[in-house]
Structure 1
Amino acid sequence: MTYQWDFAPVLARFDLLLYGLLNTVKIALISIVLGVAIGLLLAFLRLSPKRILSIPATAFIEFYRNTPPIVHFFWFFYALPVLMNVSLDPFVAAVLALSTQSGAFYAEVFRGGIVSVEQGQWEGAKALGMGRAQLMRRIILPQAFTRMFPPFVERSFELTKTTALASTLAYADLLYQAMMVNSETFRPLEVYTTIALMYVVLLVAASSLARVAEARMTAYR
């Protein structure tokens, strides 16, 4: 028996999927911004010659790199409230999980970009009397940024796809909304095909913008 595709019930509830898509974009953008801040801090701490700073930063990074993302979601939503005697809604718990996890991965992207700058440029800037902060701001980071941009974009895409795990906390992201639509329409093939295409459109559009940004950065080098 040939399956009869029918997208009409799904399209009738497409507004619910769009709401989920907007929530996915919102949580991804907030987590990227926070993750970048965390990642920069961790990268500088890991590069510090002081072991009291570099060792905890390295431990944090390795912990997040070697544990499943869903564990972080469950820990912030179920465990942290017990530990801190606070109540977190799904959005806050998901943002904490995503931003700390992405921060650990961004830290390695940033660290790799910084250490890739030739040693001679470090020594030349120091010979000119630049302090470490001035050296980073004027010499190292501008060069490192163009080198770290592609892996940074790739990591941001991975984060965006990982937002789907927020549905396990009953956060109304795209996947959660799709599950709600499916429970009403009983058309799983159409529902999950639709959201797969929505993810593709979102990330292809973001990828196109990233390529334009990278091309402009390369042109101004």
Structure 2
Amino acid sequence: MYQWDFGSLWQFRSIIGIGFVYTLGYTIACIALGLLVGLLVGLGRLSTNPFISGPLRAFVEVFRCTPVLVQLVWFYYALPVLLGIEMSAGTAAMLSLALYGGAFYSEIIRGGIVSIDVGQSEAGWALGMTRFQLMKRVILPQAFKRMTPPLVNQSIMQLKNTSLLSVLAVPDLLYQGQIIAHETYRPLEIYTLVAIIYFVILLPATIWAKRLETRLSAQHG
């Protein structure tokens, strides 16, 4: 019979706290950068110029069709060699997750925009609106409501993906848990605690995303 002892982890609370801060910080930064990349790529993919939309589509497919773990390792070990630069683990992790998230965000944004009835665009052009004015005043406000639930779901995935940062020795929550497990030889307690922390963060976010989806379905029902 295994004797659980969570009390032994109390002395490592500061290390756990540091890991939590790193995880939360990377999540927020990667979501913000990913949304920026997604907005630019999503709008660019709507271009009728194949020299703009073509490379952006290739970008999206590359990041959507390769595992995020492979991308993390490639950005840390291969990209610096390819470019002849030095890159810290944190920078590689941030760049990789931001671009990975941006690829998915871009498809959500593009899909939200094209879902708006084309008649509204025609009405805006008839009123003399420019493409920028039409996008800002008519299309994006409506599309944003439809995009919000999938954007939230993808952001939840971004938080889950931060658990992979430990492979690059980024001191996130899981990496700190590994250090404590090696120190205490009590992996059951520390990894259970890490799982509980992720669950406590993700459960409210998941419920919120589900409510947004239900509310949107009711509005369009």
Pair 1:141 & 2:140 matched: yes
The equivalent residue for 2:112 is: 113
Higher relative contact order (CA 8 A, sep 6+): 1
The equivalent residue for 2:97 is: 98
- 1:97-150 deviations in whole A, cap 9, x for unaligned? 000000000000101110111111111111111111000000000000010000
Matched residue type, 1:106: Y
Give the whole-Å Cα distance in 1 for the aligned partners of 2:206 and 2:17.
20
Secondary structure of the 1:73 match is helix
Pair 1:181 & 2:180 matched: yes
Aligned length: 217
The equivalent residue for 1:75 is: 74
Give the whole-Å Cα distance in 2 for the aligned partners of 1:110 and 1:100.
15
Matched residue type, 1:127: A
Deviation at 1:181, TM superposition (A): 0.6
Matched residue type, 2:189: E
Give the whole-Å Cα distance in 1 for the aligned partners of 2:214 and 2:145.
10
Q: RMSD of aligned C-alpha atoms? A: 2.0
Matched residue type, 1:182: A
Deviation at 1:182, TM superposition (A): 0.4
- 1:166-220 deviations in whole A, cap 9, x for unaligned? 11000000000000010011111111110001011122344567689999999xx
- 1:14-71 deviations in whole A, cap 9, x for unaligned? 2211110110011111111111111011111111011111111111001111000011
- TM-score using structure 2 length: 0.92
Give the whole-Å Cα distance in 1 for the aligned partners of 2:44 and 2:177.
41
The equivalent residue for 1:5 is: 4
Q: Residue 113 of structure 2 contacts residue 139 of structure 2 at CA under 8 Å; is this kept in 1?
A: yes
Give the whole-Å Cα distance in 2 for the aligned partners of 1:14 and 1:194.
11
- TM-score using structure 1 length: 0.92
The equivalent residue for 2:168 is: 169
Gaps of 5+ in 1: none
The equivalent residue for 1:60 is: 59
Deviation at 1:12, TM superposition (A): 2.2
